[in-house]
Chain A
Amino acid sequence: MFSETVELRGHIIDSLILPKVLDQILTHGANFKIGEIKIGKKRADQSFARIEVSAETSEALDELVLRLRQHGAEVAKRADAHLAKAPADGVFPPDFYVTTNQQTFVRCDGKEIEVQPAMMDSAIAVDRKKRTARAVKFFDVSKGDEIVVGHEGIRVVPVQRSTSGTDLFQFINTTIDADEPKSGIIRELARELQRARTRKSKIAMVAGPAIVRTGAGEHLVRLIESRYVDRLFAGNSFAVYDVERALFGTSLGMNPDLAFARGGHENHLRAINTIREAGGISAAVEKKILTGGVIHACVRHNVDIVLTGSIRDEGPIPGVTTDVVEAQRVMREKLVDVTHVLLLATIQHSLAVASMLAPTVKTVCVDIDPSAVERAVEHQPLQSIGLVTDVEPFLRELADCIVQAGSVSRAKK
């Protein structure tokens, strides 16, 4: 929302100018907040009101303010943000402003510019000529870039709680503990994802290796096949476990289908070698070397796979981005248009993704570790649900709901 503060002075009560201005704000689809009001005590005393007007777009706000000025509203003078030049590549000036992930505006030459994208723990670089403001990380900044310093001229608009009666996230913004029922929420989540699908919103899954190890991979495959996954974010381990499971029936040497069966740990390394030998994941699918599993389903259904590495990785399997700065850049790029994210059994990737999300992205975090869930959802306090549970029953139930609903709707047609 774009906003401007206007002031009204004069006999605004007796002349009904104050109610007229407030009514005009509302009838033009904008909102107001009265910051200050002083009513004259004696008959000839003038009154004063300071009103913050907010509208969806900068143009709508300008047009409205122009209209209000006709009725005596004057735009309150607000300070511009202070800018300082970056002293070197990758270095912010002292006292640089640190962003949250909330919608943020910078006042420059008397007008507000929205910071794009809304990204936490960044600085803000302003291009005065182009009238743009962008959230930048250290590696994005070049010597001489103009960076916002201090807090003046900055306005942060927290995400409002949804008022839609059909929105699951309106009711639940908390963590469901291990001993609490989850079926109802999972059914609601399935409906929310169905609505997202209808609106052609983008759904991302952030997958941990526990999905494969617990045997939940097949449920994720069902979601992929039902077109409920647009992006898959994971680490090297997830990919390797999934491929090992597809090639040898084990993951890190364990067979999830057999309670006590254990294979050799070497399957893990052989899986990596097979993919390397095939020339990568897609090549392995094409050559029918890799014929099952989550990664295979992603390739077959054109799901974007974003694999990022860590220091402990074996391999890595081809396709993993090992440069962490480059990995962050790719992740951000692939998250720009995402509206729903499921963080599934991976604290490391969940926290990384959660820190990059816009505050409007609806987030579900599933992990067996309560502290992992708490940490992931705290980035999205009004748009997140945490479920403390093993990921396998969660994914099984979610996939059942979605596949079942899909077959019902097909039968109706």
Chain B
Amino acid sequence: MRELLLCPPDYYGIEYEINPWMSRARGAETPLAQKQWTELHATLSDLDCKIDLVPPQPKLPDMVFTANAGLTVGRKFIPSNFRHKERADEAPHFARWMEEHGYDVSWLPNDLYFEGEGDALFCGDLLFCGYKFRSDIQSHRAIADMLGCLVISVELVDPRFYHLDTCFCPLPDGAAVWFPAAFDDYGQRAIREHVAELIDVLPEEAMHFSCNAVVLEHDIVLPEGAPKLVAALHDRGYRCHELPMSEFIKAGGACKCLTMFMPQRASV
């Protein structure tokens, strides 16, 4: 059974603009957002996941995106150092909760930006880390030191895909779903060299945050709007659960952003 951390969207809303998706003029509809989140929670619960809820905090609307709380490996939790001051106050709440739940919290030096599982995803035994928009590449080196694993740093070049989990989604069979144009040439080459099989997502499907999926063994929970990707995943033997995510996409997040694995890996 996978254990996941979610945060109820009690205070969720578009209250600032820190990525190209966000527009205060086009705010999220609160009842619909709550409905969509509840559906995600129900879907993950039905898939036999143990779900923990971190208490939401007023004035921290993006706390709902728990993938950015940090990175958990075994009982070690590395909290994020958020780049934007709007999200910086989330970090102590997440860290305290993790500590209270028995995790060993290891902070990065506070001058290194790192946005947790949003920019750090294991594929096979490699940890792929995105950098530039949110995380610094220097933080990857520190993560590699802390975990003792090989980190592949890839540069993100499209501001709409500002976190790695918006354009790259590893699968349990060693393959990965990705949107290549979100990476620079070197990042694309590095991914191609280290990932056995890659499933390209079309630009129109990538725009629906199709890569932002929660992968659970044979089940994949992803936003609706990617029929071609769903067909490809189905052909590989995965069951896809498509959910409406419109109100969270308005803030630049979807299924995966709303979920953090505890842990992402038992060990490295």
Contact = CB atoms under 8 A, between A and B. Distances in A.
Interface residues of A, number: 16
Nearest to B129: A15
A11 interface: yes
A19 interface: yes
B132 interface: yes
A46 B152 contact: no
Given A14-B150, A15-B152, A44 B144 contact: yes
A331 interface: no
Q: Is the interface of B mostly helix, strand, loop or mixed?
A: helix
Given A16-B190, A17-B137, A72-B137, A11 B144 contact: yes
Given A11-B152, A16-B189, A70-B132, A46 B144 contact: yes
A202 interface: no
Interface string B128-152: 0000100001101100110011111
A10 B186 contact: no
A44 B141 CA distance: 11
A71 interface: yes
Nearest to A17: B153
A70 B140 CA distance: 12
B138 A15 contact: no
A71 B132 CA distance: 8
Contacts of B132: 70
B150 A44 contact: yes
Interface residues of B, number: 22
Contacts of A46: 141, 144-145
Interface in A89-147: none
Contacts of A11: 140-141, 144, 150-153
B155 A71 contact: yes
Contacts of B141: 9-11, 46, 72
Contacts of A9: 141
Looking at A19, A43, A71, A74, the one whose CB has the most chain B CB atoms below 10 A away is A71
A20 interface: yes
A104 B193 CA distance: 44
Contacts of B151: 10-11, 15
Given A10-B144, A14-B150, A44-B144, A72 B186 contact: no
A212 B193 CA distance: 76
Interface string B166-193: 0000000000000000001011011001
A70 B153 CA distance: 12
Given A10-B137, A71-B137, A72-B137, A15 B144 contact: no
B194 interface: yes
A190 to B, nearest CB: 50
Given A14-B190, A14-B194, A43 B137 contact: no
A168 to B, nearest CB: 43
B154 interface: yes
Interface string A19-33: 110000000000000
Nearest to B126: A14
Contacts of B186: 15-17, 19-20
Contacts of B152: 11, 14-15
B266 to A, nearest CB: 17
Given A10-B144, A17-B186, A20-B186, A70 B137 contact: yes
Nearest to B152: A15
Nearest to B139: A72
A44 B148 contact: yes
15 contacts: A10-B153, A11-B153, A14-B150, A14-B190, A14-B193, A15-B152, A15-B153, A15-B154, A16-B186, A20-B155, A20-B186, A43-B150, A44-B144, A71-B155, A72-B138
Interface of B: 132, 137-138, 140-141, 144-145, 148-155, 184, 186-187, 189-190, 193-194
Sorted nearest first, the 7 A-B pairs with minimum C-beta distance are A10-B141, A72-B137, A15-B153, A16-B186, A20-B186, A16-B190, A15-B152
Interface of A: 9-11, 14-17, 19-20, 43-44, 46, 70-72, 74
Given A15-B190, A70-B137, A71-B137, 16 more contacts: A9-B141, A10-B137, A11-B140, A11-B144, A11-B152, A14-B190, A14-B194, A16-B187, A17-B137, A20-B155, A20-B184, A43-B150, A44-B149, A46-B145, A71-B155, A72-B137
